[in-house]
Amino acid sequence: MIPYVTDTPDIAIPANLLPRDGRFGSGPSKVRPEAVAALADAANTYLGTSHRQKTVKSVVGSLREGLSQLFSLPDGYEVALGNGGTTCFWDAATFGLIERKSQHLNFGEFSSKFATAAADAPHLDQPEVIASEVGTHPVPVAREDVDLYALTHNETSTGVMMPIARPDGAVLPADGGGLVAVDATSGAGGLRVDPEQFDAYYFAPQKSFASDGGLWFALLSPAAQDRIAAITATRRWVPASMDLTIALDNSKLNQTYNTPALATIFLMENQVAWFNDNGGMEFSAGRCDASSETLYTWADNSDFATPFVTRVQDRSRVVGTIDFDDSIDAATVAAILRANGIVDTEPYRKLGRNQLRIAMFPAVDPEDVASLCACINYVVGAIAP
Ligand SMILES: *Cc1c(COP(=O)(O)O)cnc(C)c1O
C-alpha cells in the first residue's frame, strides 16, 4: 500500500461545543435514532415478512397517505413508488413520461443527469437544455414543442434552491401543454411546494425523509397519470422494471413491482408520520428555515466564511454551501470535524471549491447547526496562524 500521509492537525473540540448528533451529510443523511428504535421494536413481526401481506402493505399505505397529507395533494393525485432511487426514476421517465421532447434546467451535477438520460434516449427528440452558472438557477421557458419541463427543487451539488412554478405563459397540461416534472430528491419535505404547480414531484428516502436509499417516490397529477397511460397505449417498448404503468398499478395496491427494502419503507413512514404529527410541512420546512437562518447568519458575520450562493433567495434551506477564505483550507477543517465525530461536511467533489457543504434536512436539529458553527469557529481559531 502507498503510505497515506496526513497533515490533519490533532485538535480536540471541547465536548460542550459539540452537536448532539454529528451527521450533516447531504445523502445518505441523518436517520433519527427514534425511528431506528421503532424499527428495532417492530423488527420481529415486520422485517423478513412478505411485502404482499397486510403487515407491510399497511405501512406502505400509511406512507402513501402520509405523503398525500404532508403535501396537501389535491383529489386525483397519486403517490407512486418503485425500486431504484431517483436515478432509476429518470430512466423510467425517459421511457414513460416524456412523449417526444423535454426541456431541462441545468445548474449542477444532479440536474444535468436527467438531461443526459433524455438526450441519450433514441426514441426521443434532442432535449432543450437551459443552463446557468453554478451557484445560480435558470428559469424555464414555455415552448409549444416541449411536452415535459424538467425542474430541480434543490440542486444538492451547489446548494441552490428554486421556486417551483409552471413556466410563465405555459399552456396547462389539461389543455395540451407540457408536464412539469420536478426532481425534489433533496428538497421534498424540507421546502414548501404548491402541488398545482407540478405534475410529477419525485424524490428518494435518503435525504429529508431520513431513511435509506434505493426507492423512488413520485407524486403524480391526473395529467401525469394520463401521460403515462397514453404512452403505454402507443406500445413503446419499456423494460418492465422501468414501466410507470406497472409501477402505478402496484402502488395503488400499496405494493411495488418487485421486492422493496422493508426497513427503508419503515424508517420513511416513521419520518413522514413525525412530520404530520407535529404540524406537517410547516413543522418540517420550519426546522430547515431555522437551521439555514443560523448557518447563513453565521457565515455572513464570519471573517473567514461566506455563503457560496450570492442571491439570498436562491440559498438552499436544506443544503448550505459555505466558501472559505483562501487562508483556511476547508478540507482540513472538514477532516478535523470528522476526527471529532462531525461527519460529511466535505463539499461536493466535482464542484471543486474551498467550501463546506452542510445538510440541514428536517431530521437535523437546528440547535446542532448552531453547535456546528461554534465548532467550525473553534477549529479555525485553532489552525489559523
Ligand atoms: C441525491 C440526489 C439524486 C440521486 O438520488 P439517487 O436516489 O441516489 O438516485 C438526484 N437528484 C438530486 C437533486 C439529489 O439530491
204 lines ligand 1 (CB under 6 A): yes
Q: Is the pLDDT of residue 5 over 70?
A: no
Q: Residue 237 burial (CB < 10 Å; 0-12/13-18/19+)?
A: exposed
Angle between helices 85-96 and 244-252 (to 10 degrees): 120
User: What number does the ligand 1 atom closest to the CA of 213 have?
Assistant: 7
Q: Which grid cell is 328?
A: 483556511
Residue nearest to atom 5 of ligand 1 (CA): 86
Q: Is the pLDDT of residue 256 over 70?
A: yes
Q: What is the mean pLDDT of residues 197-220?
A: 98
110 lines ligand 1 (CB under 6 A): yes
Indicate the pairing of strand 148-152 with strand 160-161. Answer: unpaired
85 lines ligand 1 (CB under 6 A): yes
How many whole angstroms separate alpha carbon 343 and alpha carbon 338? Answer: 5
User: What number does the ligand 1 atom closest to the CA of 154 have?
Assistant: 13
Summarised one tens digit per residue, pLDDT across range 137-192 is: 999 999 999 999 999 999 999 999 999 999 999 999 999 999 999 999 999 999 99
The residue whose grid cell reads 483550507 is 329
For residues 95-129, b (16+ Cβ closer than 10 Å) or e, as one string?
Answer: bbbbbebbbbbbbbbbbbbbbebbeebeebbebbb
How many whole angstroms separate alpha carbon 178 and alpha carbon 174? Answer: 9
**What is the predicted pLDDT for the residue at 7?**
75
Summarised one tens digit per residue, pLDDT across range 85-141 is: 999 999 999 999 999 999 999 999 999 999 999 999 999 999 999 999 999 999 999
Give the confidence band of 44 by pLDDT, cuts at 50, 70, 90.
very high
Q: How far is the CA of 219 from the centre of ligand 1 (A)?
A: 16
> C-alpha distances in angstroms, 273 versus 47, 160, 195, 279?
19, 28, 20, 10
Angle between helices 262-277 and 281-301 (to 10 degrees): 90
Q: How many C-beta atoms surround the C-beta of residue 184 within 10 A?
A: 29
Summarised one tens digit per residue, pLDDT across range 284-321 is: 999 999 999 999 999 999 999 999 999 999 999 999 99
Q: What are phi and psi of 155, to 5 degrees?
A: -85, 105
Q: Specify the pTM.
A: 0.97
How many whole angstroms separate alpha carbon 126 and alpha carbon 100? Answer: 9
Q: Residue 142 burial (CB < 10 Å; 0-12/13-18/19+)?
A: middle
Indicate the pairing of strand 102-106 with strand 154-155. Answer: unpaired
CA dihedral angle for residue 276, residue 282, residue 287, residue 293, rounded to 10 degrees: 170
**What is the predicted pLDDT for the residue at 1?**
46
Q: How many C-beta atoms surround the C-beta of residue 263 within 10 A?
A: 16
**What is the predicted pLDDT for the residue at 142?**
98
Q: Which of 164, 158, 153, 112 is nearest to 135 (CA)?
A: 158
Contact criterion met (CB below 8 Å) for 201 and 97: no
Alpha carbon 125 to its chain's center: 28
Q: Which grid cell is 324?
A: 472559505
Percent of the residues in the chain that have a pLDDT greater than 90, as a whole number: 96
Q: How far is the CA of 32 from the centre of ligand 1 (A)?
A: 20
Contact criterion met (CB below 8 Å) for 208 and 274: no
Residue type, 117: A
Q: What is the mean pLDDT of residues 63-76?
A: 98
Q: How far is the CA of 184 from the centre of ligand 1 (A)?
A: 8
pLDDT averaged over the chain? 96
185 lines ligand 1 (CB under 6 A): yes
Q: Residue 31 burial (CB < 10 Å; 0-12/13-18/19+)?
A: buried
Residue nearest to atom 14 of ligand 1 (CA): 185
User: What number does the ligand 1 atom closest to the CA of 319 have?
Assistant: 15
**What is the predicted pLDDT for the residue at 4?**
53
Question: Which domains, and CATH codes, for the chain?
Answer: 35-277 (3.40.640.10), 281-383 (3.90.1150.10)
Q: Is the pLDDT of residue 354 over 60?
A: yes
Residue nearest to atom 13 of ligand 1 (CA): 185
Q: What is the mean pLDDT of residues 60-87?
A: 98
Q: How far is the CA of 28 from the centre of ligand 1 (A)?
A: 10
**What is the predicted pLDDT for the residue at 349?**
87
156 lines ligand 1 (CB under 6 A): yes
